[in-house]
Chains A and B, each alone.
Chain A
Amino acid sequence: MGALDQTVGSDTEKPLTGAPCAPIILSLPTIRCAGCISAVERGLAKENGVETARVNLSLKRVTIEAAPEISADHLVATLAAIGYEAHELEPSLLADTKSDAEGKALIKRLAVAGFAMMNVMLLSVSVWAGAEAATRDLMHWVSAFIALPAITYAAQPFFKSALSALKVRRLNMDVPISLAIILAAAMSLYETSQSGEHAYFDAALSLTFFLLAGRYLDHRTRASARSAAQELAALEVPRALKVVNGAEVLTPVAELAIGDVIAIKPGARMPVDGVILTGESEVDRAFLTGESLPAYVGPKCAVNAGEINLTGPLSLKVTATAKDSSLQKMAELVALAETSRNRYTSLADRAAAVYAPGVHLLAALAFVGWMILSGDIRLSLNIAIAVLIITCPCALGLAVPAVTTAASGRLFRRGILLKSATALERLAEIDTVVFDKTGTLTLGTPVLEAPGIYPPDDLALAVGLAAHSSHPLANALTALDITALSGLTDVREIPGHGIEARLNGALVRLGRASWVGADEATQTATHLLRDGQNPVSFMFKDTVRPGIAELIPALQKLGFGIHLITGDSAPAAQAIAKRLGIDNVAANVTPQQKLDIIEGLTADGKQVLMVGDGLNDTAALTAAHVSISPASAIDAARTASDIVVLGSDFSVLSDCIKTARSARARIKENFALSAIYNLIAVPFALLGFATPLMAALAMSTSSITVTLNSWRVR
């Protein structure tokens, strides 16, 4: 538990008193200010049983210590009541993000390099100001005394990476960096011992400092991408209720075996594939197939992992464990699609591939050229090393990480998590957007279409009946601002069928068409029967996700092709496409067909952004150039996506694309800036005019310009 406390920014040496159970950690995607912190902490502190609640605004999380009987669901509901969206996180899956030993080590090296750089720079100023003879030698020796241990400690990440690259006979950016640092230090030490004029200790140190800064920013982007992935994995709490000798035991899904019997409560998701033993209900298959209408299931029906049980409790005999379930069959498709994804080379890698050999060639040429001209080894070596120091990619090392840090910070504040370090670069390249329907364009929560057309008594009666069920359609009815009819007696819910009751002695029913005796509807509907009257059918439509109505025209304005592909029926798909103005619609598609459509578009030279949330989308999400899913998506879909939107509003997506484009522009500008700086400085170095003062000035100004330019990301 000591380790857990680090997440909330408190001391690690906390004595373990009270609060015997693990803290509850909730993700709060919508908090952004001081008011939110107090509101959340006060709101939670008012709950009975909550001992402490501490918000971490940087991570957008709250850690709660509470009595064991307090459930996370209860606290999520409490926060929802005061207006904050919250999701439970599984603490054990967050373990790695807490310590971040690598990041702390980098920060320490950065601090040491910065300390040494400033002191050596101070001493160098007096040399540049004209210190001579013994004074200059003293300054150089003190510099050496500070610089050599500092470099040995601080520049280790570069040495290690360069060594591992050389071992496999490859050149990476760290080879010229390490060479420049080592040679600069060694040459300076030799010059100092010979009472030489120029020592480059300050250059070696500022090189180390600026490059470490770039390395740290890069690490932060990667670490936050990784912690985002872990946070998402932690959103799913995989447990099942196993029935052992008639008692229900909470068991991790991974421990279930074929033949086990598990209980599925209404509202829960099937953890594994199985066959129903007892109970009747309706299941929501939207995640698996994209169908928006719930399906009836009863004894002997097969159900698949990922489906949601809606109305009645079920007992299920496990036919395939989590590893072999239909969820996993999708994973094979995903693996197939993944190979194409890995071929993407980032801008930084492409730059390094050109840059590293170029620098070595230039330094070697300088050495050979001066050897031929002067024949003086010491002079030629000094010039070659000066070339290496001056060309060394301070600015280049900062060019990409500084931009990605600025951009991902901006996006995170708007509730967008980047899971992949190259996601922004890829997002900037897209020209086609493909949407899934159920759960992506729509929220998957139905609302009553045109409540005004129904007779008020019928509506009041339906709401009265619906109050006794937690079925999504019943919830949609009770959410209406209509007073429920009172006077119902003998109310009971018949799982899989509906609700029945007696009104003044007469039978009334609300439920499935066949049970009530109504005609089957083409769209989502529930039916009301009053004794001796014709049944009334209530029609529902799906709610469009907030922000989508503004997003689609914004994307069209950018010139993107927009497609809708869904596993749902054609009329449902057409209706939503017409409402949103999407022309390209494919309905009734299987997961394989979704993948084929994406690959077809890619083969036509399109760069596709796929937005989806279901299991049937995962292969398509993986195959697309870049992919986005909402936080409400199923675990597998979020894993396959590069970007996850934490809130439910999707209007942020067009901003996200703008930020990505702006980030790519800034990265290219940064490359141009460092190229210009090299174009000016390298001729001086080649001609032998370079001095330590020049190197220091050029290095600092270029690094600072690049960093400042990066903050211009919008």
Chain B
Amino acid sequence: MDVLIALIPISLFLGGLGLAGFFWMLRKGQFDDPDGDANRILSPDYDDKPKE
């Protein structure tokens, strides 16, 4: 059971990484136009990122 000493912090760290990533995406406005993003992949226009 000694492996738990390593595994628990690792799993918490990885989960925390996911949480931080989600916060970052939220701040970057990735969820502002979900319908549009879903449809834009069908368009042949070059659209790497939102035009600024």
Binding site for B on A (CB under 8 A): 5-12, 14, 33-35, 37-38, 41-42, 52, 54-59, 104, 107-108, 111-112, 115, 118-119, 122-123, 135, 138, 142, 146
Q: Chain B 7-28, CB within 8 Å of chain A: the 1/0 string?
A: 0100110011011001100101
Cross-chain contact A33 with B23 (CB below 8 angstroms): no
Q: Which of A12, A55, A118, A119 contacts B36 (CB 8 A)?
A: A55
With A37-B36, A57-B33 in contact, do A8 and B50 touch (Cβ < 8 Å)?
Answer: yes
Q: Which of A54, A119, A138, A146 contacts B51 (CB 8 A)?
A: A54
Known pairs A12-B29, A135-B1, A142-B8; list 18 more (Cβ under 8 Å).
A5-B52, A6-B29, A6-B32, A8-B32, A8-B33, A9-B37, A9-B50, A11-B50, A11-B52, A33-B39, A34-B42, A38-B44, A54-B51, A56-B32, A57-B39, A111-B22, A112-B19, A138-B4
Cross-chain contact B45 with A11 (CB below 8 angstroms): no
Q: How many residues of B contact A (CB 8 A)?
A: 30
Contacts of B39 in A (CB 8 A): 33-34, 37, 57
A8 CA to B40 CA, complexed, in Å: 14
Closest B residue to A59 by CB, please name it.
B33
Cross-chain contact A58 with B51 (CB below 8 angstroms): no
Q: Which of B19, B33, B41 contacts A58 (CB 8 A)?
A: B33
Q: Interface SS of chain A: helix, strand, loop or mixed? A: helix
A-B contact pairs, 17 of them (CB 8 A): A8-B32, A8-B33, A8-B50, A9-B29, A9-B33, A10-B50, A14-B52, A33-B39, A34-B40, A35-B43, A52-B51, A56-B33, A57-B33, A58-B32, A58-B35, A115-B16, A135-B1
Closest A residue to B18 by CB, please name it.
A115
Closest B residue to A118 by CB, please name it.
B15
B40–chain A nearest beta-carbon distance, Å: 6
Cross-chain contact A54 with B50 (CB below 8 angstroms): yes
Contacts of B15 in A (CB 8 A): 115, 118-119
Closest A residue to B36 by CB, please name it.
A57
A603–chain B nearest beta-carbon distance, Å: 44
Cross-chain contact A108 with B33 (CB below 8 angstroms): no
A38–chain B nearest beta-carbon distance, Å: 5
Which of B16, B35, B41, B45 gathers the greatest number of chain A CB atoms within 10 Å? B35
A14–chain B nearest beta-carbon distance, Å: 5
With A10-B51, A52-B51 in contact, do A119 and B12 touch (Cβ < 8 Å)?
Answer: yes
B42–chain A nearest beta-carbon distance, Å: 4
A146 CA to B52 CA, complexed, in Å: 40
B20–chain A nearest beta-carbon distance, Å: 10
Closest A residue to B22 by CB, please name it.
A111
Contacts of B19 in A (CB 8 A): 111-112, 115
With A6-B29, A10-B50 in contact, do A56 and B12 touch (Cβ < 8 Å)?
Answer: no
Cross-chain contact A108 with B26 (CB below 8 angstroms): yes
**4 A-B pairs with least C-beta separation:** A57-B36, A10-B50, A9-B32, A34-B42
Contacts of A112 in B (CB 8 A): 19
A33 CA to B32 CA, complexed, in Å: 17
Cross-chain contact A146 with B36 (CB below 8 angstroms): no
Q: Which of B11, B16, B28, B35 contacts A122 (CB 8 A)?
A: B11
A559 CA to B32 CA, complexed, in Å: 42
A7 CA to B29 CA, complexed, in Å: 9
Q: Which of A11, A14, A58 contacts B34 (CB 8 A)?
A: A58
A104 CA to B28 CA, complexed, in Å: 12
B26–chain A nearest beta-carbon distance, Å: 6
Contacts of B52 in A (CB 8 A): 5, 10-11, 14
B38–chain A nearest beta-carbon distance, Å: 8
Contacts of A56 in B (CB 8 A): 32-33, 36
